[in-house]
Structure 1
Amino acid sequence: MGSAAPRSTIQVPERLGLTVPPGAEGTRADRFVADASGISRAHIQRLISEGRLTLSGRPVRSSQPLAAGAVLELDIPDAPPSAPQPEPALDLTVVYEDDDLLIVDKPAGMVVHPSPGHATGTLVNALLARPGGYGMTAGSERPGIVHRLDRATSGLLLVARNDRAQAWLTEQLRARRIKKTYLGLVWGAPPAATGRIEAPIGRDRAQRTRMAVVPDGRPSVTGYRVRERFPGWTLLELDLVTGRTHQLRVHLASIGHPLAGDPAYATGPARRGPEGLGRLFLHAWRLELAAPSGEGHIRVSAPLPAALDAVLERLRAEGGPGGPGAPSGQGPRR
């Protein structure tokens, strides 16, 4: 696939102050800032989702109506210098493919799309090296991308192969019709075999790079089932009902069972993880969705990476599995 020509860059300061003039009251924040700055509304919405638009020091929602005289501050990170380029040397594991979509198994450590500090080596760079096209409704910097995984998270990711599929998948995600199930190893022993966490998530006001359970956050729901128990640790199946930034990590930490190896939301032994763990123990294991073509149902799973499976094998050897959901064979069931 040929590379797109670099888009012109709007020259704006790193921190932009905008005052809402009389007559503009009631305008949505994302629309007002896009019109006033000349930056695309989609890019403004991404910046807002990262907590980069504030009013009196507090994050602003995209849909928030503004009052006349309000003074907004927009933090604009450095943009990648050019459109992403194909990188054939990057490995890409495709676990499902049809005319409308790919499902890839992203390795831990790979960023999904170019961003400040990560202009190369991303999943998008690997995708561009494959023949064929992708949906471009999210812009040339994110061909085919409809959702993301954290850099430290491995597992399944949907990629749209055309604009129609990208719009359809985006709407399915918004309507919560795509089931995303993760495997995560957590510190401690959740008392119930199944559970549901409903707690609003927003930007942590004390540490802007983190998320937290906050009273005025966005509604967020996580379901879990105990799959296997070990002394000091529990392997969970996790249903990502909503899709907030760092949702699983924040929710599990909020109930006292942070994910093993989480450098941001865990402390002490949980942050270090069990012996042999060198990364966050979180893997996007299974995806279930209706086919964009309307013909049939897609259900795909990706086995745990060998490094995570080895951690479980060590725990089994040390203390033995127990409790609900203990599998009879190696690794998670497909």
Structure 2
Amino acid sequence: MTTSNLEVSEVRLLTFIVSEEEENIRLDKFLAQRINRISRTGLQKLIETENVKVSGEIVTKSSFPVQIDQEVELEIPNIPDETQLIPQEIPLDILYEDESVIVLNKQANLVVHPAAGNFDNTLVNGLLYYSNQFEKMKINVRPGIVHRLDKHTTGAMIVAKTPHAHMRLCEQFANREVSKEYFAICFGHFEEKSGLIETNIAHHPTKRHRMAVTKEGKESRTEYYVLKEYPLFTTLRLLLHTGRTHQIRVHLSHINHPILGDTTYGGRKSKFGGIDGVKSHFVNRLLKIMPNQALHSRQLGFHHPISNQWMEFIAPFPETIQNAVSILEKSSENPIFQEDWWE
């Protein structure tokens, strides 16, 4: 058995034949043994997004057992390898920095690291421009990245500046020792003023860019507390007990309270839940000032990777959320929704 040493950026299609000694092992493990430039997690994502064929048929389950003499084809998106990452001047709102970590307030419309469809102008490109410390960590396309926020989610994020800090912080996230608190504006009102949303989450069976509540997905838990109710909307404080992709957005949409502005999970419908007339006009006004989902990583707590001191940071709200809350506060004083009150 040989391992491919091709650069990821040079490859469009790789083909392997399953040997006798590889029979019945998982598909993701088989590919990980053959390719040393893509992590197993990365390979699993390629499998889930229909980039792998076995004997000519697309397979989307990483646990699929390969059989002797089967042909496995892997199509790799043209994602740059670490040597192609370029520094780019991107504004960084830094809340705290020392020799080991940076805590920043991520802006909306910023992808965290390069991936298919977003090869540059990411947070990683900005970090490389900001400090040559990250150049020393270019062992993959995610130097310093410990966790992610969605492209249009704003707020507190931590980045590691050294390999040791990266390892220690990753351990904390894996062991669920990090405190993550979010703020959201969502549609509707809640019968219970606090609660725990517990479901399994996996990729949507037909819409691969989305996640969904499923029976066979990974366990996920989101705790919520109602902060304030407004006409048509509620603001929430949310605590993450797991860190699944799109978790808060999926959970709130699942219980019929999508986040304001969330295009993917139903939060940009001005007539959501039977809203019409002047109320629909009011929602449209909110959507115009909220181009992305109203979800903000408000507070982040962790043990410093060197001193082990517990540290907490609060990320100020972006102007879009401040403006939306201001309009909601005004709406509380005008429950009749007069035609011109927001002018």
TM range (shorter): 0.7 to 0.9
Distance 1:136 1:47, change over 3 A: farther
Question: AA paired with 1:157?
Answer: M
Q: Secondary structure of the equivalent of 2:130?
A: coil
- The equivalent of 1:256 in structure 2 is 256
| Deviation of 1:10 (Å) | 6.2
State whether residues 85 and 125 of structure 1, in contact with CA within 8 Å, keep that contact through their aligned partners in structure 2.
yes
Distance 1:130 1:247, change over 3 A: same
Aligned residues: 310
User: Structure 2, unaligned stretches of length 5 or more?
Assistant: 1-5, 273-282, 335-343
| Deviation of 1:23 (Å) | 2.7
Distance in structure 2 (CA, Å) of the matches to 1:296 and 1:105? 21
Instruction: Determine which structure has more spread, i.e. the larger CA radius of gyration.
Output: 2
- The equivalent of 1:45 in structure 2 is 41
Distance 1:19 1:182, change over 3 A: farther
State whether residues 31 and 41 of structure 1, in contact with CA within 8 Å, keep that contact through their aligned partners in structure 2.
no
| Deviation of 1:57 (Å) | 4.8
Distance in structure 1 (CA, Å) of the matches to 2:28 and 2:20? 17
Distance 1:260 1:75, change over 3 A: farther
State whether residues 9 and 80 of structure 2, in contact with CA within 8 Å, keep that contact through their aligned partners in structure 1.
no
Distance in structure 1 (CA, Å) of the matches to 2:245 and 2:10? 29
Q: Find out whether 1:27 has 2:25 as its counterpart.
A: yes
| Deviation of 1:39 (Å) | 4.5
Determine which of 311, 315, 321 is the counterpart of 1:308. 321
Moved more, 253-262 or 292-301: 292-301
* 1:1-334 equivalence runs, <5 A: 8-9=7-8, 11-14=10-13, 20-36=18-34, 38-42=35-39, 44-49=40-45, 51-52=48-49, 57=58, 59-61=60-62, 64=63, 66-69=65-68, 74-80=74-80, 83-88=84-89, 90-134=90-134, 139-266=139-266, 268-269=269-270, 274-275=286-287, 276-320=289-333
Runs of 4+ in 1 over 6 A off after TM superposition: 135-138
TM-score, normalised via structure 1 length: 0.83
The percentage of counterpart residues that share the same residue type is 31
Q: Deviations over 1:81-114 (max 9, x none)?
A: 75222223x2111101122111111100011112
Distance in structure 2 (CA, Å) of the matches to 1:185 and 1:77? 35
User: Structure 1, unaligned stretches of length 5 or more?
Assistant: 1-6, 322-334
State whether residues 137 and 166 of structure 1, in contact with CA within 8 Å, keep that contact through their aligned partners in structure 2.
no
State whether residues 104 and 158 of structure 2, in contact with CA within 8 Å, keep that contact through their aligned partners in structure 1.
yes
Distance in structure 1 (CA, Å) of the matches to 2:321 and 2:311? 26
Q: Deviations over 1:159-190 (max 9, x none)?
A: 00100110111111011100111111111012
Question: AA paired with 2:12?
Answer: P
State whether residues 32 and 43 of structure 2, in contact with CA within 8 Å, keep that contact through their aligned partners in structure 1.
no
Distance in structure 2 (CA, Å) of the matches to 1:190 and 1:58? 40
State whether residues 12 and 78 of structure 2, in contact with CA within 8 Å, keep that contact through their aligned partners in structure 1.
no
